[in-house]
Structure 1
């Protein structure tokens, strides 16, 4: 956590033990400063001891005020520091330590929350939102069915995707995972999706002079949103270090959508050449009922 202090111990390749205090001034490697920090150590020598497969850190700190209970973050890395520069940790957990009794209560990693975050994001942004776009493009001969399907599926996808973002924020607040790119893409997808919802309520009449501009705005914003969502889902699966089943499931979803969309696109271009529906790439419908 930014602004916190950490006691770090390790055994180098020559078997020498080190224990150092670090100050985490920011989330960059240069912001992790060795031999700095706010922990007040006593005159009791600190030590790092290797016993079997375990490494033990021994140090004593003092506090200006009495503390009954304190939360502590425990993290480890498989890579030893290089010239006292720390590598990113591989895993972490937290515990609540009771100084009055010496007892500690472990706070386990919120795996269920992480699974919920992934499931909501995949089903909302990765399945329903693309299906809503597919319905708008390839079912327009079923007027007005395509429009109602498009709106219903897109809204449902947005709501479930929004739940994925909320669970992602809750997960970040629990784990403080430093996945800046994944978090930034998630915020971008939510912003684009929200703009699409706003655009729905502000769409101009089909006879309006700005309707053509609105169509381009609506279509391209939707494509960018779907594209970024797919990238972020893949990135999230990679970062989660989960089992292979998540990759297989989403890979199958993407494959089915690509194959189905390609087939539908070929069929539409073959059957409706006179309407110019294949010109300009993925041109979605420009009208809907009562507009």
Structure 2
């Protein structure tokens, strides 16, 4: 197992995983919702990869007067909840500054709505209540499509002539809790914070370059961390624990030691790369953060660095501190693996990739644990056989 082979194998693994993970968050609308948009003569439609599957259909009816017709729909499965969509005519696609249309599901099942001006005061805990907005909105309807269990917002919006419909910011959101006509804060997940887009209303093309780069960086952060910290490092531990005396004869010329060092070095480089990307993402995200995930990441990088430095700084074989150092090195290594697993699952939850990434990583961990038990049982059997052989020779 040469270093060049490991680099080749895992670089190709990263490339393949990135192909599966680089999908953008917008997809074609479901057939049922698409039928509803066509029945209203709306020509464009998008479905956003959100836990509640927000779908957005629209048509620019008159490019001269900027008349925009919209239909927004999503499932609201909780007892109360809310669906919001709006336009932010400022320079950035963000929640604050949005002129919003919000429909709220009441406890009696009715779906009522109004216009809301989302200001910066909601960030300090102020209530979001119905207010007039600057947009000229007509034919505003809050309804429910019973056959597909969707709550919907319909409206005709007369956009200001100064608005560039080829580059406009729109925002969508779904929440689970509302009191009366006051929507409460949504879940604090990546996709909720990223429910914004700069779009060309004439073609439906997303031109949110920053958002796309941020999404790619998150994917890279997850892939590097899973492969580096979560896969290669545990393989290196297995090599160090079980390949000194077999089952493969790597004890000659300390081949197991070279393989162990190669694994740990490759795992550290990939994991540290993912950590650096994570630090950049934390600094880049101005409006939200995930402090626990970040704190775990810093601990992992720090202690993994200590473990890697041990390749050069460990005491000599005859040194009286070697026994204590070995105990420290082993205990820290196993504790580090546990923290790595916990933090990877935290990251997957933040990204809301439980349907794809979570089963994949569970399969990886299960395979590593299975190999661990196989080698542990093999060593135990070999130890018992050696004991029996020694006892027979003595007798």
TM-score scaled by structure 1? 0.69
- Report if aligned partners of 1:19, 1:46 keep a CA contact under 8 Å in 2: no
Q: For 1:219, which of 314, 317, 330 is the aligned residue?
A: 330
Q: 2:231 aligns with which of 114, 117, 127?
A: 127
Given candidates 253, 262, 274, the residue that maps to 2:364 is: 253
CA distance in 1 between counterparts of 2:217 and 2:342 reads 21
The CA RMSD over aligned residues, in Å, is 4.1
SS of 1:34's partner is: coil
Compare 192-201 and 49-58 and name the one that shifted more: 49-58
Give ranges in structure 1 of 5+ residues lacking alignment: 36-40, 59-70, 98-103, 277-291
Name 2:216's counterpart in structure 1. 112
Classify 1:113/1:275 alpha carbon distance in 2 versus 1 (closer, same or farther; 3 Å).
farther
**What's the CA shift for 1:168?**
2.4
Q: Distance in 2 between matches of 1:17 and 1:42?
A: 9
Alignment of structure 1 residues 11-26 onto 2, 5 Å: 11-13=103-105, 15-23=112-120
Contact 2:173 2:195 in 1 (8 A): no
The Cα shift of 1:237 comes to 2.2
Q: CA offsets per residue over residues 99-122 of structure 1, 9 Å max, x none? A: xxxxx9534444332222221111
What stretches of structure 2 of length at least 5 have no aligned partner? 1-94, 144-151, 158-167, 200-205, 246-250, 388-395
Corresponding position: 1:159 with 2:251: no
Name the counterpart of 1:33.
Answer: 126
Counterpart-to-counterpart distance in 1, 2:225 and 2:386: 36
| CA deviation vs aligned residue, 1:104-144 (integer Å, no higher than 9, x gap) | 95344443322222211111011110011111000112151
Superimposed CA distance per residue, residues 62-118 of structure 1 (whole angstroms, 9 cap, x where no aligned partner): xxxxxxxxx979452233544554233653245579xxxxxx953444433222222
Structure with higher Rg: it is 2
**Contact kept? 1:10, 1:55, Cα under 8 Å:** no
Alpha-carbon distance between aligned partners in 2 of 1:32 and 1:47, rounded to the nearest angstrom: 28
CA deviations on 1:148-182 (whole Å, 9 max, x unpaired) are 11111101100001111122233442585533332
Distance 1:176 1:134, change over 3 A: farther
Distance 1:248 1:79, change over 3 A: closer
Asked if residue 262 in structure 1 is aligned to residue 373 in structure 2, the reply is yes
Whole-angstrom CA distance in 1 between matches of 2:185 and 2:276 = 31
Query: Which of 139, 151, 175 does residue 243 from structure 2 map onto?
Result: 139
Cα distance in 2 between the residues matched to 1:45 and 1:119: 43
Give, in whole Å, the separation in 1 of the partners of 2:290 and 2:207.
27
Q: In the aligned structure 1, how far is the partner of 2:135 from the partner of 2:361?
A: 52
Q: Secondary structure at the match of 1:33?
A: coil
Q: Following TM superposition, by how much is the alpha carbon of 1:192 offset from its aligned partner in structure 2, in angstroms?
A: 1.4
- Per the alignment, in what secondary structure is the counterpart of residue 242 of structure 1? coil
**Helix, strand or coil for the counterpart of 1:178?**
coil
TM-score, length-scaled by structure 2: 0.53
Equivalent residues of 1:125, 1:157 under 8 A apart: yes
Aligned residue number for residue 260 of structure 2: 150
Change (3 A) 1:251 1:33: same
Deviation at 1:221, TM superposition (A): 1.1
The 1:22/1:134 distance shift into structure 2, 3 A limit, reads same
Per-residue deviation at 1:242?
Answer: 2.7
**Cα 1:275/1:225, change in 2 over 3 Å:** farther
Residues 1:122 and 1:24: Cα distance change in structure 2 (over 3 Å): farther
Cα pair distance change 1:254/1:136, threshold 3 Å: same
Determine the structure 2 residue equivalent to 1:280.
none
